[in-house]
Amino acid sequence: MKKIFAFCAVLLVAATAFAQAPRYGIKSGSYKTEMDMMGQTITNTTYFDDFGAKEATSMSMMGMEMTQISKDGKMYLVNKGEKSVQEMPQQQQTINYLNLTDEVIAKNKIKETGKETVAGKECTVYTLEMNQMGQTAKATVCVWQGFTMKTTIDAGGFTISTKVTEVNEGPVDAALFEVPKF
């Protein structure tokens, strides 16, 4: 079960992971998401700065309080309960919806399919396919200002749905992006 959960988390990160170019059309702020995964609803808050070059997501998974910090081409998974930090390179399969290239469109079979309003924002809807950990997943994403406002991923016989419920623009505390030293 934990292996499936980890696979789902990796897919979610890959669907929303940032690229080196500006990722969002907004400099800094936060957004809240609700994720439905395997019958469990998970609420996350993500803080971002420098148009998405820095991002910190607070989440609660399987009884663990985790923070994922992405910056400087690296991703850090912080488990506050265990007082541990796992560092890894930023995912290579990133999709920057503000800068879709022909290569990224072809590689991920991205197709624009329409419009949808999510959290009061008019979004562009895309379908795509992702390959992670030897698995192919099909996804539908609704994008506004580079944000994936709604995502549905179908992989391995299960579905993960994520929806942004609130977006706030404005400065955020720089300390949110500091990796703790336990």
Task: Give the pLDDT confidence of 33-56 residue by residue, as tens digits.
Answer: 998 877 778 889 999 999 999 999
3-state secondary structure of 104: helix
Domain boundaries, the chain: 2-169
> pLDDT tens digits, residue range 102-146?
999 999 999 999 999 999 999 999 999 987 777 889 999 999 999
Write down the pTM of the prediction: 0.77
pLDDT value for 135 = 81
The CATH architecture of the domain made up of 2-169 is Clam (2.50)
Q: How far apart are the first and last CA of the chain?
A: 28
Q: Which residue has the tokens 């994922």?
A: 68
Identity at 181, one-letter amino acid code: K
Which DSSP state fits 178? P
> How large is the greatest C-alpha to C-alpha distance in the chain, in angstroms?
47
CB-count exposure of residue 134 (10 Å: 0-12, 13-18, 19+): exposed
Q: What does the alpha-carbon distance between residue 2 and residue 21 come to, in Å, rounded to a whole number?
A: 33
Q: Taking Cα atoms as reference points, which of 138, 152, 143, 136 lies closest to residue 112? A: 143
Report how far apart, in Å, the C-alpha atoms of 6 and of each of 79, 91, 122 are.
Answer: 14, 14, 31
pLDDT value for 54 = 95
pLDDT band at 31 (very low <50, low <70, confident <90, very high): very high
Q: What does the alpha-carbon distance between residue 95 and residue 101 come to, in Å, rounded to a whole number?
A: 9
